[in-house]
C-alpha cells in the first residue's frame, strides 16, 4: 500500500484567488515530488483552530497570507531569525518532533526577483521603500543582508516609517519619514503601498525617481500596475511587478519543506498573469 502524499495548503482570508496552488503544483512536477497543495480558507477569528486541525489531520506545511502572518508568528513553536525580525510568518513547517517552525521567505523572494528582473545588484544600492506595512518589515533585513548601502522608508503615516526604521538601525543605514516629503537620491524605488499609486493619491513627488535606475512593485496584476505606469511615465525603463517575488518566496518555502530548491524562471514565465516584466 502506498502512503498518501504529504499535504500542504495556503491559509488566508480571502484565499480563493491565491496562485500558490498552481505555483507549488508546477514545482512538484518539475522536481518529481508527489504532494497535495490546496487553499485553506479561515474566518478572521479562526486562524489558530484551522491550523491546529490541519496539522492534527497530518498536514505537513502551510503558507500563510493576509491577514494572518502576524498571528502565525505567535503560533509557531520556533522562528527562524528572519521571521523573528519580521514579526511575520509566511511559511509553517511541521518538524520531525511534531513542533511547528515558522519562517518568512518574502524578503528573499523580493531580493532574488528584483536582482534578476531589474539586473541591478542590491549590494551597494540606495533603496527607497514606499509604504511601511507588514510586508516591509519582512524585506528590510534581507535587503541589508544582500548589502544595501542605505534604505529610506517613506510612508503616509510618517510615525510608522520612523518607528520601523528605528527597529532596524542595528542592521545598517536606515531612516524613515513622510511620503509627501520623500526626495531623490535612490538607485532603486520599491512600492509596498497596498493601494498602489492611483490618481492624486498617494501623495508622493516624482522627484523620488530622479536618480532611480529601476523600480519594483511588490504588488502584481494582470495589467501593469498604477505604480509601474507612473514610473514608466517618468522614464524609468527597468521596472517589474511582484509576481516573480510570489514565485520566489514559494520556491523558498518548497525548499524548506521538501529539501530541494525548484527552478523559478520557467514557472514565472509560464504562470505570470501578463504584467510588466519587460520594459516596453
Residues that bind ligand ATR (CB under 6 A): 131-136, 155-157, 160, 192-195, 201-202
Q: Which is nearer to ligand ATR, 35 or 129 (CB)?
A: 129
64 strand-pairing partners: 11
CA nearest to 126, candidates 26, 210, 2, 36: 210
Cell output for 167: 527597529
Question: DSSP 3-state assignment of 92?
Answer: strand
Considering the complex, what minimum distance in angstroms separates the CB of residue 116 from ligand ATR? Answer: 22
Three cell numbers, residue 154: 517613506
Closest CB 201 distance from ligand ATR, rounded Å: 4
Pick the catalytic residue from 7, 24, 69, 94: 69
Between 139 and 267, name the residue whose CB sits nearer to ligand ATR.
Answer: 139
Task: Determine how many CB atoms are found less than 10 A away from the CB of residue 11.
Answer: 23
Residue 131: φ, ψ to 5°: 110, 150
Q: Which is nearer to ligand ATR, 13 or 160 (CB)?
A: 160
Least distance between ligand ATR and beta carbon 56 (Å): 29
Active site residue 160: no
Q: Which helix (H) or strand (E) holds 197?
A: none
Nearest to 245 by CA among 12, 11, 23, 70: 23
Q: Chain-centre distance of CA 278, in angstroms? A: 20
Measured from the CB atom, the residue of 6 and 162 that comes closer to ligand ATR is: 162
Q: Which is nearer to ligand ATR, 35 or 193 (by Cβ)?
A: 193
Q: Supply φ then ψ for residue 19, to 5 degrees.
A: -90, -5
If you search the block for the grid coordinates 513627488, which residue do you land on?
A: 205
In DSSP notation, 144-177 reads HHTT-SEEEEEESSHHHHHHHHHHTTTTSSEEEE
CA dihedral over 224, 68, 192, 190, signed as positive or negative:
negative
Active site amino acids: 69
Amino acid at each position: 500500500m502506498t502512503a498518501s502524499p504529504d499535504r500542504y495548503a495556503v491559509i488566508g482570508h480571502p484565499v480563493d484567488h491565491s496562485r500558490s496552488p498552481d505555483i507549488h503544483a508546477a514545482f512538484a512536477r518539475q522536481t518529481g515530488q508527489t504532494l497535495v497543495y490546496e487553499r485553506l480558507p479561515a474566518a478572521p477569528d479562526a486562524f489558530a483552530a484551522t491550523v491546529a486541525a490541519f496539522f492534527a489531520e497530518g498536514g505537513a506545511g502551510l503558507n500563510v497570507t493576509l491577514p494572518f502572518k502576524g498571528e502565525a508568528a505567535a503560533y509557531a513553536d520556533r522562528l527562524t531569525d528572519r521571521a523573528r525580525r519580521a514579526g511575520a510568518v509566511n511559511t509553517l513547517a511541521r518538524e520531525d518532533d511534531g513542533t511547528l517552525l515558522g519562517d518568512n521567505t518574502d524578503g528573499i523572494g523580493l531580493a532574488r526577483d528584483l536582482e534578476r528582473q531589474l539586473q541591478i545588484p542590491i549590494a551597494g544600492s540606495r533603496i527607497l521603500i514606499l509604504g511601511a506595512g507588514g510586508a516591509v518589515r519582512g524585506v528590510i533585513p534581507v535587503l541589508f543582508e544582500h548589502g544595501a548601502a542605505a534604505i529610506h522608508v517613506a510612508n503616509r503615516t510618517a510615525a510608522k516609517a520612523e518607528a520601523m526604521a528605528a527597529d532596524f538601525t542595528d542592521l545598517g543605514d536606515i531612516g524613515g519619514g513622510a511620503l509627501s516629503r520623500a526626495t531623490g537620491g535612490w538607485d532603486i524605488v520599491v512600492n509596498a503601498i497596498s493601494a498602489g499609486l492611483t490618481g492624486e493619491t498617494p501623495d508622493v513627488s516624482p522627484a523620488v525617481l530622479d536618480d532611480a535606475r529601476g523600480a519594483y512593485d511588490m504588488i502584481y496584476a494582470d495589467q501593469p500596475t498604477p505604480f509601474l505606469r507612473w514610473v514608466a511615465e517618468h522614464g524609468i525603463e527597468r521596472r517589474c511587478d511582484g509576481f516573480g517575488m510570489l514565485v520566489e518566496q514559494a520556491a523558498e518555502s518548497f525548499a524548506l519543506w521538501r529539501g530541494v530548491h525548484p527552478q523559478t524562471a520557467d514557472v514565472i514565465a509560464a504562470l505570470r498573469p501578463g504584467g510588466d516584466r519587460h520594459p516596453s
